[in-house]
Amino acid sequence: MTSPTRVVTLRIDDREVSAREDETILQVARDNEIFIPTLCCLEGLSTWGACRLCLVEVSGSNKLLAACATRVAQDLEVKTNTPRILAYRRTILELLFSERNHVCSVCVANGECELQNLAQRCGVDHIRVSYRYPELSLDLSNDLFRLDPNRCILCTRCVRVCDEIEGAHTWDVMGRGIDCQVITDLKAPWGESKSCTSCGKCVHVCPTGALSQRGTAIAEVHHHRDFLPYLTQMRGERD
Amino acid sequence: MPSDELVALKTKAEQRNRANRICVCTAASCQSVGADRVHKAFEAEVNKSQREEQVEVRAVGCMGLCSAGPLVRIENDETAVLYRNVTEQDASALAQSIGRAPVERLICPTDVPFFTRQHKIVLANCGQIHPERIEDYVAVGGYEALYRAITEMTPGEVLADVKASGLRGRGGAGYPTGLKWQTVAKSPDPVKYVVCNADEGDPGAFMDRSVLESDPHRVLEGMAIAAYAVGANLGYVYVRAEYPLAISRLRLAIRQAKAANLLGQNVAGTRFEFSVDIRLGAGAFVCGEETALLLSIEGRRGQPRPRPPYPAERGLFGRATLINNVETYANIATIVDRGGASYASIGTERSKGTKVFALAGQVKNTGLIEVPMGISLREIVEDMGGGVPAGGRIKAVQTGGPSGGCIPNEHLDMPVDYDSLQQVGSIMGSGGMIVMDESSNMVEVARYFMEFSMSESCGKCVPCRVGTYQMHQILSRMLSGCAGPGDLSMLEELTRAVGETSLCGLGQSAPNPIKSTLRYYRSEYEEALRKSRPSMPLAEEGVR
């Protein structure tokens, strides 16, 4: 017999909100329309905690905590928009832009890119660090989809959706540090992947233009993500 | 009443005992300068003179003064003479000196601060016993603490002793060990694990390696006592594959302990059960971070995950897991043996006991030392280390490896403890201590450590993955004379951002070498900037 979930009250940016005690700060903030940027987090996938954009200040902790991975608690005081946090968000976004070749004007996801949206919303109007300009080649071996690592931000949504929802585990990350890359199988060309089911879930969860359907041109990407909460909900009910 | 197992092993050791012993260091650093050949030469010499009944040639672990290796100690029950830089050619003269006057030209004086200022607990048996013989360890009182714990004490009493000792984690962060144990002990999880972190990776640090190579049973005993205290039956030692000698000695030690009924089911005839297995690292520094280490043991990609939940609540295979460093476990037998209060009498108010340091860099005496907490840094590097070889001035002492900082000469009189080191912008770390003289360029030092952190970043979180790269870029530009005017302020901003926003300890502490050198040697950065002629304008086109 599990004990009933309790309801707690806490403050986010001086707003009194109530939540179930098993919810994360991010969930509660979203329920209350308080903006916290995220890139790796996606409802229906496991918590990853890697983009660090959702960091918030929490009373009783001198460290910044990831809202996606931190549970709420009674009387918690959360701050999502202090000058320190706003500055770090901008810095993290700048770092992401400097890492690969993010050229929005010729990107399939222009206008429907989460990185672009966040940059606009967080006021990133220029990049103060030097660009890295890595040389990365596209994988066009798949008949239906393409991988453009120039736009990849290594959020690993594709890895997680493929593993956790589709059950194929075609995607994974190879290398470490700045050399990390998402790969299919053991770096076989996507088109030759034996495990890929061509379901396309990875393409739809990609926040940028790194994964896209073939045949889409600049700014033609449209993500359909409604399947994800639906699938997880249905599975939850089945279990 | 000691157990039958221990009595039998003690007898075995006594039977082997000879009046004279030639102890040859066979730890990795002495082996690298030919200790194996020296050991063989001594065996041949004793064999030739048919004195096997009077003289034992014993392979022992690290004797500490690595810079004078290969080290050989010739001893009987009354006296001991240490010899330095021994070669195969010296074996005959040294072997013949037994019972006569020592060979003057090779004597390594042991009445110097390097040896006299040490306080050995963790290293007590290092260089004394044969690391590949369990009976040697038992002969000096080994496994008695474990036996006493499981037969005479309740888990709660063991825990109370560890708490009373004030021991803090020796892996670097200094979390109170007793508190960690208590969290795991309290967990209602029916399956618990005990894990030993031997993924030592800081440049210049070799404490854990030496302990495993010289006295592996001490670590196993510590783990077994921990398992008893928290209620675990299975343990793992996660050791890096780059330590082949440590691995083979540890493997052997586990086999011996099992055969002697000191590990496995019904330990020493009691109901206590504890088995240990080894897992090898594959060359990733980040796997020393506890959550990454646990994933690596599970066979997954070794990268950290957000905490909480802490491993003490949900760790290996989702179970409550106690994870401590090699040196932490190596302290446990002594704590149980002498009592927590006795251990707590060593050290300072908030840092109890002793700490092993690997002394390296620009000092005369390099090697392994164990000192009481609270000793001054100057005592370590100048008195024990003997200062800079050519008589130069010490510029800085680096502690904590890529997660630590440089402590300048003017702070050398500070006591060495967790809190004081933190105050001056460094950390205790796992025990690497690198001495630098005036010839060191601190921007270069910072870049060296940043290069390390950059190439060891797992790449999971953005600030560490890209931030360490960008900081390394800026430092490289400064050193190659093409830095721009905004680079220094950007560097400072990145140190703050990466330090505060990274996911795990690696990223959070990666900026420390820059922070500390900026704090004490800012002029060197400004000098690098003044000399710079930015030939290439920094890309500032903005978001395209």
Q: Do B543 and A127 touch (CB under 8 A)?
A: yes
Choose among B481, B453, B458: nearest CA to B470.
B453
CA distance B544 to chain A (A): 5
Predicted model pTM: 0.94
When the pLDDT of each residue in chain A is averaged and rounded to a whole number, the result is 94
Task: Assess whether A162 and A63 both reside in one domain.
Answer: no
Chain B residues touching A179 at Cβ < 8 A = 459
Task: Assess whether A118 and A202 both reside in one domain.
Answer: yes
Residue A16's domain is classified under what CATH number?
Answer: 3.10.20.740
A87 in any annotated domain: no
pLDDT at A127: 95
pLDDT at B115: 96
Query: Residue A133: is its pLDDT beyond 90?
Result: yes
Task: Assess whether A120 and A66 both reside in one domain.
Answer: no
Choose among B460, B443, B444: nearest CA to B506.
B460
pLDDT tens across B54-96, in order? 999 999 999 999 999 899 999 998 899 999 999 999 999 999 9
When the pLDDT of each residue in chain B is averaged and rounded to a whole number, the result is 93
For B153, phi then psi, to 5°, come to: -115, 150
Query: Residue B137: is its pLDDT beyond 80?
Result: yes
Task: Assess whether A125 and A16 both reside in one domain.
Answer: no
Query: Residue B541: is its pLDDT beyond 50?
Result: no
pLDDT band at A239 (very low <50, low <70, confident <90, very high): low
Query: Residue A37: is its pLDDT beyond 60?
Result: yes
B146 Ramachandran zone, left/alpha/beta (phi>0; psi -120 to 50): alpha
> What are the tokens at B289?
């971070």
Chain A residues touching B283 at Cβ < 8 A = none
> What are the tokens at B251?
């493997």
| Average pLDDT rounded to a whole number, residues B184-189 | 96
pLDDT band at B15 (very low <50, low <70, confident <90, very high): confident
Note down the domain range covering A61.
7-81
pLDDT band at B338 (very low <50, low <70, confident <90, very high): very high
B→A interface, C-beta within 8 Å: 284, 286, 301, 305-306, 454-463, 465-470, 473, 486, 490, 493-494, 497, 500-503, 538-544
Q: Is A88 on the interface with B (CB under 8 A)?
A: yes
The count of structural domains within chain A is 2
Give the H/E segment covering residue B283.
Answer: none
- Provide the residue type at B483 as one letter: A
Q: Do B459 and A131 touch (CB under 8 A)?
A: no
pLDDT at B52: 87
Q: Which residue has the tokens 């302290």?
A: B331
A vs B, Cβ pairs < 8 A, gives 119
pLDDT at A173: 96
| Average pLDDT rounded to a whole number, residues A129-150 | 96
Report percent pLDDT > 70 for chain B.
Answer: 98
CA distance B399 to chain A (A): 23
Give the range among A115-119, B10-14, B160-164, B464-468 with minimum mean pLDDT.
B10-14
Helix, strand, coil shares of chain B, percent, nearest 5, are 45, 15, 40
pLDDT at A105: 95
Where in A13-50 does DSSP place strands (E)? Answer: 15-20
Cα B328-B332-B338 angle, rounded to 5 deg: 140
pLDDT band at A2 (very low <50, low <70, confident <90, very high): low
pLDDT at A234: 81
pLDDT band at A228 (very low <50, low <70, confident <90, very high): confident
DSSP sequence for B370-434? EEETT-BHHIIIIIIS-S-TTS--EEEEEESGGGSEEEEGGGTTSB-SHHHHHHTT---TTSEEE
pLDDT at A4: 75
pLDDT at B536: 53
| Average pLDDT rounded to a whole number, residues B427-433 | 91
Query: Residue A23: is its pLDDT beyond 60?
Result: yes
> What are the tokens at A236?
């939850």
* Final residue belonging to a domain, choices A47, A81, A115: A81
Task: Assess whether A119 and A220 both reside in one domain.
Answer: yes
Query: Residue B333: is its pLDDT beyond 50?
Result: yes
Nearest CA in chain A to B473: A130
A26 in any annotated domain: yes
Q: Of chain A residues 150-189, which have a CB less than 8 A from chain B?
A: 153-154, 172-173, 175-180
Report percent pLDDT > 90 for chain B.
Answer: 88
pLDDT at B491: 97
Residue A134 CB-half CA count within 13 A: 20
**Residue-wise over B173-193: b if at least 16 C-beta within 10 A, else e?**
bbebbbebbbbbbebebeebb
Domains (ranges, CATH) in chain B? 18-110 (3.40.30.10), 141-344 (3.40.50.11540), 354-437 (3.10.20.600), 442-531 (1.20.1440.230)
pLDDT at B228: 97
pLDDT at B538: 45
Task: Assess whether A32 and A71 both reside in one domain.
Answer: yes
| Average pLDDT rounded to a whole number, residues B376-399 | 94
Number of Cβ atoms within 10 Å of the Cβ of B202 = 25
Query: Residue B183: is its pLDDT beyond 60?
Result: yes
A86 in any annotated domain: no
> C-alpha distances in angstroms, A109 versus A210, A212, A228, A238, B210?
8, 8, 20, 35, 55
Chain A residues touching B469 at Cβ < 8 A = 99, 132, 177-178
Choose among B398, B504, B376, B520: nearest CA to B448.
B398
pLDDT at B2: 67
Task: Assess whether A217 and A117 both reside in one domain.
Answer: yes
What is residue A23's DSSP assignment? Answer: S
pLDDT tens across B281-292, in order? 999 999 999 999
| Average pLDDT rounded to a whole number, residues B528-533 | 89
Please give the residue that has the higher pLDDT: either A189 or A239. A189
**Cα torsion angle, B105, B111, B113, B114, sign:** positive
| Average pLDDT rounded to a whole number, residues B336-352 | 95
pLDDT tens across B146-157, in order? 999 999 999 999
pLDDT at B540: 42
Task: Assess whether A222 and A146 both reside in one domain.
Answer: yes
Task: Assess whether A56 and A137 both reside in one domain.
Answer: no
Chain A residues touching B490 at Cβ < 8 A = 128-129
Which of B456, B459, B470 is nearest residue A129 as measured by Cβ atoms?
A: B470
Choose among B132, B151, B130, B125: nearest CA to B4.
B151
Q: Which residue has the tokens 């940016």?
A: A13
pLDDT at A233: 81
Give the range among B9-18, B274-283, B490-499 with minimum mean pLDDT.
B9-18
